[in-house]
Amino acid sequence: MSASYSNITENLLCIVPITRRLLFPQERLAVHFGRGDAEYAWGVFQPHFNRLQNAGFISAERILEIGPGRNLGTALLWWAYCETRRGAPAEVICWDVFKNAAPEISGFWSKLAWELLDTLSGWFQETESDRLQARPHEVAEGLRPRITYCVKPLKELEDAMNAEHMQFDLVYSRAAIEHIWDIEAFWETMARLTRSGGWHSHYIDLADHGQRDTNYIRNAGMVAVGLLVDRPIYTRCNQPLARRALYR
């Protein structure tokens, strides 16, 4: 009973941002949960992959993932597929404003690759399955994938990419864009960082995990209330969010 009361108290304290950060330091979370879940990584990858392929997408040399959170498995899958499909190097930048993963830990990519391979069965047709297995097998044996985990403000991300004259062929996200405060600045930056003829694929939730009272979705006519969960507790749509195309 005392343990139950302790859990309830801890959950209530987590409603307040400052106590949430004290109880669950970002670095500790990144180390403990940094690999993410392999099934979730496949679940993020597949709908993006299917929709892009149906629209004519073939491959990409440079890829940007927006807000991966704890899940770097999807980035590994995109890197593996594009390198194999192109027969040439591909690169993925995983950009976030908070550190939620710890790829610098020894064995991080190898363990993640094995987990992804263990859950591959049944996701894709044989041809695509072969393309998705080749490079992860090499990563599982110790190869370091060309994936950079980048934690910095949006302006610093753009400055860093400009310094390397880098633009992206594919930009994608899952349940990330709804957390962005200055959405106009974000889209303007993405326009500058996307190569001419590049692709965007984004899935957007109608919740913001209770971290602030409003965001651009609410301002555009959608109301979403979330409380420390990964889906909205309650949503009401007053008008369609048609200001931006979610897909190319």
CATH number given to 25-204: 3.40.50
Q: Average the pLDDT over each of 22-26, 94-98, 108-112, 138-142 and give the range with the smallest value.
A: 22-26
Instruction: Give the C-alpha separation, 9 to 141, whole Å.
Output: 44
Asked whether 216 and 205 are in contact (CB, 8 A), the reply is no
SS3 assignment, position 20: helix
Of residues 13 and 78, more confidently modeled: 78
Listed in sequence order, the residues at least 6 apart from 91 whose beta carbon sits closer than 8 Å to its beta carbon are 61, 62, 63, 79, 146, 147, 148
pLDDT given for residue 126 in this prediction: 56
Q: For the whole prediction, is pTM greater than 0.75?
A: no
Mean pLDDT of the chain, nearest integer: 74
Question: Would you put residue 197 in left (φ > 0), alpha (ψ -120 to 50) or beta?
Answer: left
Listed in sequence order, the residues at least 6 apart from 185 whose beta carbon sits closer than 8 Å to its beta carbon are 154
Of residues 35 and 124, more confidently modeled: 124
pLDDT-derived band of residue 230, with 50, 70 and 90 as boundaries? very low
Instruction: Give the C-alpha separation, 27 to 29, whole Å.
Output: 5
Find the mean pLDDT for residues 55-69: 94
